[in-house]
Chains A and B, each alone.
Chain A
């Protein structure tokens, strides 16, 4: 049984209430930090923990915090990125829904460490019921003296507010999130300057994922060194994985980083294997924006070593034979699934969600989606496959924000590993159209 740091009490009845949460050891980290630690001590513990950002990029959280500019007389802000919108990723929603006080507690400790007196939780527009749950938790924290003026008599003041998003994926990009929070159209900013220097309202700002902020709680409670003992290599601690697709037991799991992918998929403790006794065909291990892995590269690397649920192991081999841990959106496809259809589905999402600011992303994602749509509907040509690969190369790395890369990588990997399937769509157009996935595909107009 893997160790749980975040979801340990998730199934305790009433854990979403302050009283039950407190009874189960809640808000200990706030007491410890505010009464016995300086803000710098908290930052040092987070650095010692080796915690890497759980939003997808995996940048060390402690290092990110250390970049925060600290000019005199200028407020600093901590923003929690709860704009979880990537297909396949739903772990933050689970955490906020089940155990909202953990996020509030993490926000208090993190804000204290960063010297922020006003922090915000930016919640995805579609998570309105989650917003209400978190809002209630914040109100309870205020009522019990954990938010507001002079928290626990420490002299530290913090106000915490929720900012609901408009339901745009791009607002999960940190600078677009800041723009949106300022009341503007959620377009990513040109960097530099980075938010750590010039963020919300021109002030130094840190933007962290829900899970990263929640992980600060056990780090402060048990110490960074203790946290660093869990995991493998530079992938320390536990990670929430949202597993979906053709699995016996899809769901949100907290794993210790370093668990083998094989065990995660097939063990009864976790996903319980592939549904209906089918074989695995492919896996997207870190949310829809990361490269897809074919069956032979899911549980083993190209070198033949065991593939582990860690930042390093999943990336082993680069994009040629590896992928990324990303946000932990673990999507599994069985042998009956169509890779072209799935790739088109992802491309449709990114084309729809591109903010439209920069030319390669705006035009390129739309172009890819249309070509994939034709291929899936039996109207593609053989040269379309190379065209897709080329559009990909011209988007990747040339855009303002990583959405361009996120759109390009899945398509590039799908062609790299499943080219014959794309070719089959060209050579067997009638059969491609006739397949029935139980989805009304013909409702999509071919324009």
Chain B
């Protein structure tokens, strides 16, 4: 085990652990944000640069600071490493700059975006963004594209995190989905207008940190905070059948994989909870699911809105 100090908090982790995962072991606001890193996707990370942190001491053996900020999702910890995240002004400044870069071509259309309430860029913008923009140039725009009959891609919102590309590469057996062009002309697309034809292709929606990839069976039907997320399971031959069904009354509006507190697909009994397309898109009938109970949602999330009854006596007590 190696010891590392992140924002003055010491934590012991396995050798080879990245700074980001060491911070996740501590939890709370010590954890850098991550738009492109996704623990279940091999090779992901290092691209969005939102997780840059300052390494004030490289290791106990070589305590020199690292000159540049480093991507915490791809930098392994060393014994005695000292990392600054929320305690570093430099990190805050650069994260604000990355947020500004990401918002150059990402519209602030949260009021109509399907991802509102679940969007990592929305959180990042709230914490690091500014009310105005210095970008005066014309923004790039695209027409929405259908990727198969159930998934819609709207490149206007894409921040090129590559998560969906890795998902498609790892969960499908044909490489038909990737990045075209270079620089700020780069775009996600399917190879020569082919659709991703795979039982697990719907997972590209779950990994998208913004609202670029949407579920056409749910798109624009409801805001997520009006729905009740319920843990549910079903008998399925293709996947583990463990999902979250988002209900309004007795009606299932959408089905997603189970995600952990960092928005990543959970491990259940050692297996990932990637769900198949049939469970995601076709099982909208309550009788097909065994509803296990309400999903635990962070109380600070907008999804928790109106879901908790405030105990007035406790509130009064607090006020006094």
A interface residues (Cβ-Cβ under 8 A, vs B)? 168, 170, 185, 190, 192, 351-360, 362-367, 370-371, 374, 387, 394, 397-400, 447
Contacts and interface: CB of A to CB of B under 8 A. Distances in A.
Contacts of B97: 360, 394, 398
B47 A357 contact: yes
A400 B160 CA distance: 15
B262 interface: no
By Cβ-Cβ distance, the 5 closest A-B pairs, closest first, are A356-B186, A366-B184, A394-B97, A190-B46, A363-B101
Q: How large is the interface on B (under 10, 10 to 19, 20 to 34, 35 or more residues)?
A: 35 or more
A376 B46 CA distance: 34
Given A185-B178, A387-B134, A394-B94, A359 B48 contact: yes
A168 B182 contact: yes
A351 to B, nearest CB: 6
B46 A358 contact: yes
B185 interface: yes
Interface of B: 45-50, 52, 67-69, 71, 74, 76, 94, 97-98, 100-102, 104-105, 134-135, 137-138, 159-160, 162, 178-179, 181-186
B175 to A, nearest CB: 10
A265 B200 CA distance: 63
A387 B104 CA distance: 14
Given A190-B74, A359-B47, A362-B160, A367 B98 contact: no
User: Would you call the interface of chain A mostly helix, strand, loop, or mixed?
Assistant: helix
19 contacts: A170-B182, A190-B45, A190-B74, A351-B183, A354-B183, A357-B160, A358-B48, A359-B160, A360-B49, A362-B101, A363-B105, A367-B101, A371-B137, A394-B97, A394-B100, A398-B52, A398-B94, A398-B98, A399-B49
A387 B135 CA distance: 10
Contacts of A367: 101, 104, 135, 137, 184
Given A353-B182, A398-B94, A364 B46 contact: no
Contacts of A192: 76
A356 B159 contact: no
A320 to B, nearest CB: 17
A353 B159 CA distance: 18
A192 B97 CA distance: 24
Dominant SS among interface residues on chain B: loop
A363 B184 contact: yes
A116 B313 CA distance: 77
Contacts of B48: 358-359
Given A360-B49, A360-B97, A399-B49, A355 B134 contact: no
Nearest to B96: A394
Contacts, number: 94
Given A190-B46, A190-B71, A362-B183, 20 more contacts: A185-B179, A190-B45, A190-B74, A352-B182, A354-B183, A355-B183, A356-B186, A358-B48, A359-B50, A359-B101, A360-B49, A363-B101, A363-B104, A363-B184, A364-B101, A365-B184, A367-B104, A367-B137, A367-B184, A400-B47
A447 B137 CA distance: 7
A351 B46 contact: no
A356 B182 contact: yes
Contacts of A357: 47, 160, 162
Contacts of A399: 49
Contact of A359 (B49, B68, B74, B138): B49
A5 B178 CA distance: 47
Contacts of A359: 47-50, 98, 101-102, 159-160
Contacts of A351: 183-184
Nearest to A371: B137
A354 B100 CA distance: 18
Contact of B68 (A168, A356, A397): A397
Contacts of B183: 351-356, 362, 365-366
B102 A363 contact: yes
B229 to A, nearest CB: 30
Contacts of A365: 183-184
Nearest to A188: B46
A362 B184 contact: yes
A100 to B, nearest CB: 30
A185 B189 CA distance: 14
Contacts of B137: 367, 370-371, 374, 447
Contact of B182 (A190, A354, A363): A354
Contacts of A397: 67-69
B10 to A, nearest CB: 24
A355 B102 contact: no
A360 B45 CA distance: 15
Nearest to B35: A359
B210 to A, nearest CB: 12
A297 B162 CA distance: 44
Contact of B185 (A170, A356, A394, A400): A356
A192 B77 CA distance: 12
Contacts of A363: 101-102, 104-105, 184
B117 to A, nearest CB: 23
Nearest to A187: B179
Given A362-B183, A366-B184, A356 B160 contact: yes
A367 B139 CA distance: 10
Contacts of B135: 367
